[in-house]
Chains A and B, each alone.
Chain A
Amino acid sequence: MSIKGKAEELLAGIRQLSGEPFKIMEVCGSHTVAIAKSGIRELLPESVQLVSGPGCPVCVTDNSDIDRFLSLAQTPGVIVATFGDMLRVPGSKTSLQAVRAEGADVRVVYSTLDALEISRQNPDKEVVFLGVGFETTIPTVAVSVEIAEREHLSNYSILSMHKLVPPVLELLVTDPEVGLDGFINPGHVCSVLGTAPFEFIAGKYQKPSVVAGFEALDILEAIWMLLRQRQEKRAAVEIQYSRVVKPEGSPKAAEYISRYFEPVDAVWRGIGRVPQSGLRLKAQYRLFDAEMKFDLPKPKSVNTPGCLCGEILKGRRHPFNCRLFGKACTPLQPVGPCMVSSEGSCAAYYRYSQRRGMSAV
């Protein structure tokens, strides 16, 4: 059967089960992009609503963290290694791209291994890797610390701004203003953690959730599975993305995270402090912790005036609700991080939505 044929079949199933309003959050930024790109929203019955969640790691990095690594980048003798997405993110005054143009040494890397290589080649410089990401990328950062320790690369360190998905989800499940009925769980994160850390959604809060893949058909099937749970009056964590995600996850990768890192409270942009939702290197690895190595300022978080990113990340508001959307704020001239990252909700809506800023979908 053609993709379109399969999609029609799934949509028929969804329509059949739709009935009462049902609000689903897609937690992961890659899902947000896939949904916008394939136009799924347009095909869903009105009663089934998809809202985007806090699943873009760049978007949830707080202004205060951005300001901290910007000051690090401007420190003489420091090379900052980062994934490309962070380059244009505006802090309260400037961005990595701008400080690079002024002479700061900022290198875009594709993996932590590249950052290690930069450390080996620049023994007289301090190389700091900006650790921004969820459970998916954290194991690779842990591996880099392991290698740095083995090779005695004393000029390598990481600035851990990593975030954990389950704690922030717990906050959102209980947010009455958002009023969510079901969740599309992040496929990549679950491939590492497995489903156990997401059980509370069903167990404690009686809400259905499904781990989905990233093709349009995966997402449609996940939506149908969520509605089926409601129909059958049950709540569970189901896996649609079984070709990649095992219920137990990847114990080895998960073990790497817990060997090197420990949970701390973390500030999410727009959401605020979420208990035990961040990670820092354990004390025995503090040689590789930029936080310990450098005297980083503790600037207070100043939110960008007019930017609704925080509300959007919680699913309370929609990109089209932002007055700056598509006018003062575009991917070329981003005001907030949701417009910078390719996985940000605002960027996805800007790029793929039929009627830019005219009406909320």
Chain B
Amino acid sequence: MQSERIIMAHGSGGRLSQRLVAEVFQQAFANPYLDQMNDAAVLPPAQGQPALTTDSFVVSPLFFRGGDIGKLAVCGTVNDLAVTGAAPKYLTAGFVLEEGLLINDLNRIVQSMAATAETAGVTLVAGDTKVVERGSADKLFINTTGLGFIPEGTQLNPLQVKAGDKIIVSGTLGDHGIAIVSEREGLSFSTPVSSDCAPLNHFIQGFLMPGVKCMRDPTRGGLATTLNEIALQAKVGMLISEEHIPLLPAVSGACGMLGFDPLYLANEGKVIAIVAPEIEARVLALMRRHPLGRQASAIGTVTSYEPGLVLLETVIGAKRILSMLEGEHLPRIC
């Protein structure tokens, strides 16, 4: 089956469909809920407040340095849950396959999803596959929905953010964006950049404590857009120090060459946390203890200066506006 390609009959519900489900999906994801083979997964009662999220993934190319669309589809949804303070538990996955897709590629992607789900400790409990004619989709699109539970006592909300709070990022910015662009355009840099794509839930659990007020994962639109969103919601200002923003030298180099600003590039394994000033040092220390947070850095402060206005103090000490992304974003980055 490995060198074969997806044909329309794989989506017919007939024998070929069944074989595909059995040999590709069930093989990778086997668990009691999926094995029920019911029309819906029936899950046990659970503690905590349910949190539910969904996301679709259309990244091109399917495989890139540091990940693939399958890993991304798990991480993206797991991380959306994790930054609300929820412990992600269950995932569903919908696949839209383009006629002609190599089954071998599909298999690699599904295996990668399964491995990432295992790392994150989430169970894939339901799935669906559709096949469309060549040209109606680009190889493979994946939608994932995630269900998690917020333990009692955890409350994250931008409305709690106030002047004096500290802004922390968990590591270097723009890695995912540059990894995808260089893959897509066949650019090579002396130190190749890998996507930072990773599930953040265990990492976040390691530093989540009272005083952590709001978290976001700066995906599309990057750090700049995410900070602007928080500032608008919380009706606060922010002052960010360019000097403290962690960047890989290869990412700054590539940005200079390609005319991108790393503060607007997508990240898939980073978190921005806004915390009370008393716990800043502890949160930073806890983040740096984890492999995903080695380069964590406190980058700025919440101000009362002007609600919704994010200012950047540049490396030479001037202040300028850090605006939201305007139009020029890269398509199909996740």
- Write the residues of chain A forming the contact surface with B, with a CB cutoff of 8 angstroms: 2-4, 7-8, 36-43, 110, 214, 216-217, 220, 330-332, 342-343, 350-354, 356
The distance from the CB of B9 to the nearest CB of chain A, in whole angstroms, is 32
A331 to B326, CA, bound (A): 7
A159 to B259, CA, bound (A): 24
Partner of A37, one of B187, B311, B314: B314
Q: A110-B185, A342-B259, A354-B321 are contacts. A217–B316 as well, Cβ < 8 Å?
A: yes
Report yes or no: A38 in contact with B326, Cβ–Cβ below 8 A. Answer: no
Report yes or no: B327 in contact with A38, Cβ–Cβ below 8 A. Answer: no
Does B4 reach chain A (CB closer than 8 Å)? no
In the complex, what residues of A have CB within 8 A of residue B321's CB? 352-354, 356
The distance from the CB of B199 to the nearest CB of chain A, in whole angstroms, is 33
Count B-side interface residues using an 8 Å CB cutoff: 19
Closest B residue to A34 using CB positions: B256
Does B128 reach chain A (CB closer than 8 Å)? no
Report yes or no: B317 in contact with A331, Cβ–Cβ below 8 A. Answer: no
> What 0/1 readout, one digit per residue, does chain B (292-334) give for beta carbons within 8 Å of chain A?
0000000000000000000100111111110100111000000
Does B133 reach chain A (CB closer than 8 Å)? no
Report yes or no: A43 in contact with B326, Cβ–Cβ below 8 A. Answer: no
The distance from the CB of B296 to the nearest CB of chain A, in whole angstroms, is 21
Partner of A331, one of B315, B316, B319, B327: B327
- Write the residues of chain B forming the contact surface with A, with a CB cutoff of 8 angstroms: 185, 187, 243, 256, 259, 261, 311, 314-321, 323, 326-328
The 7 A-B pairs at the shortest CB distance, nearest first, are namely: A39-B318, A7-B316, A332-B327, A39-B320, A3-B315, A42-B318, A331-B326
Closest B residue to A355 using CB positions: B321
A-B contact pairs, 23 of them (CB 8 A): A3-B243, A3-B315, A3-B316, A37-B314, A37-B320, A38-B315, A39-B316, A39-B318, A39-B319, A40-B316, A40-B318, A41-B318, A42-B319, A42-B320, A43-B316, A43-B317, A43-B318, A220-B316, A331-B326, A342-B328, A343-B259, A354-B311, A354-B321
Report yes or no: B328 in contact with A352, Cβ–Cβ below 8 A. Answer: no
In the complex, what residues of A have CB within 8 A of residue B311's CB? 354
In the complex, what residues of A have CB within 8 A of residue B319's CB? 39, 42, 354
Closest B residue to A39 using CB positions: B318
A43 to B317, CA, bound (A): 8
In the complex, what residues of B have CB within 8 A of residue A4's CB? 243, 315-317
In the complex, what residues of B have CB within 8 A of residue A216's CB? 314-316
Give how many A-B residue pairs fall within 8 Å (CB-CB).
Answer: 65
A351 to B311, CA, bound (A): 12
In the complex, what residues of B have CB within 8 A of residue A342's CB? 259, 328
In the complex, what residues of B have CB within 8 A of residue A354's CB? 311, 319-321
A354 to B310, CA, bound (A): 10
In the complex, what residues of A have CB within 8 A of residue B256's CB? 214
Closest B residue to A36 using CB positions: B320
A217 to B317, CA, bound (A): 11
A29 to B310, CA, bound (A): 25
A41 to B317, CA, bound (A): 12
The distance from the CB of A137 to the nearest CB of chain B, in whole angstroms, is 13
Report yes or no: B317 in contact with A332, Cβ–Cβ below 8 A. Answer: no
In the complex, what residues of B have CB within 8 A of residue A39's CB? 314, 316, 318-320
In the complex, what residues of B have CB within 8 A of residue A37's CB? 261, 314, 320
In the complex, what residues of B have CB within 8 A of residue A43's CB? 316-318
Report yes or no: A351 in contact with B326, Cβ–Cβ below 8 A. Answer: yes
A203 to B207, CA, bound (A): 65
The distance from the CB of A355 to the nearest CB of chain B, in whole angstroms, is 8
The distance from the CB of B225 to the nearest CB of chain A, in whole angstroms, is 13
Closest B residue to A347 using CB positions: B326
A353 to B319, CA, bound (A): 9
In the complex, what residues of B have CB within 8 A of residue A110's CB? 185, 187
Known: A3-B315, A39-B314. 6 other contacts (CB 8 A): A3-B243, A38-B315, A220-B316, A332-B326, A342-B328, A350-B326
A183 to B261, CA, bound (A): 27
A8 to B326, CA, bound (A): 32
Closest A residue to B316 using CB positions: A7
A3 to B242, CA, bound (A): 11
A332 to B321, CA, bound (A): 18
A3 to B243, CA, bound (A): 9
A17 to B82, CA, bound (A): 55
A352 to B320, CA, bound (A): 6
Closest B residue to A110 using CB positions: B185
Q: A4-B243, A110-B185 are contacts. A351–B318 as well, Cβ < 8 Å?
A: no
In the complex, what residues of B have CB within 8 A of residue A42's CB? 318-320
Closest B residue to A2 using CB positions: B243
A124 to B328, CA, bound (A): 33
In the complex, what residues of A have CB within 8 A of residue B187's CB? 110
In the complex, what residues of A have CB within 8 A of residue B327's CB? 331-332
A24 to B319, CA, bound (A): 22
A82 to B252, CA, bound (A): 25
Partner of B318, one of A38, A217, A330, A332: A38
A330 to B324, CA, bound (A): 13
A3 to B315, CA, bound (A): 6
A199 to B326, CA, bound (A): 40
Closest A residue to B261 using CB positions: A37
Closest A residue to B322 using CB positions: A352
A153 to B316, CA, bound (A): 50
A7 to B318, CA, bound (A): 10
Closest A residue to B317 using CB positions: A4
A37 to B327, CA, bound (A): 18
In the complex, what residues of B have CB within 8 A of residue A38's CB? 314-316, 318, 320
A77 to B207, CA, bound (A): 60
A332 to B324, CA, bound (A): 12
Closest A residue to B311 using CB positions: A354
